[in-house]
Structure 1
Amino acid sequence: MVTCTNLRSTFNSPGTVVTELHTTINDLNRRKGVENLQLTIGLKSSEIAYAITYAINKPDTVAVSEIIVRPTKQVD
């Protein structure tokens, strides 16, 4: 029997992030809407990476179970 100690996992739930996702959307109106949302309030990938780095760099005795990262800006 193999046992693991200090095994950690973190669920990461990002809000709107600036990505290429909009390029995969076939509906042109929806594509433009998602692109506009990303450009208006989207988080940078580096901001998500910072949150993940935070969880990874905790001591082995600490588990960060969930991270929810979302933009503080709101769409009018």
Structure 2
Amino acid sequence: MKSKFELEIVNNVRKIRKELNKSQTYVAMILDVSDGYIGQIESSKSASMYSYDQLNKLAEDFDCSPKDFFPRTPLVKD
């Protein structure tokens, strides 16, 4: 399972990806991984997560800052 912090990163990547009309397949191609792996990353039930280098690659392709994927403020534990 992912932490709240990791889920926030994944959700921010997904949000920007969808705003840019990019598919999971497109992201997989950019990162040179399988479509299924992106599906695992985007699933809250999987521990799979983007690496920092992958986030940097996505930021470059999405024409944004890697900071855009991270929460704006610290997340409080439940």
TM-score category by the smaller chain? under 0.3
Higher strand share: 1
Q: Which has the higher contact order (CA 8 A, sep 6+)?
A: 1
Higher helix share: 2
Larger CA Rg, structure 1 vs 2: 1
Scaled by the length of structure 1, what TM-score is found?
Answer: 0.27
Scaled by the length of structure 2, what TM-score is found?
Answer: 0.26
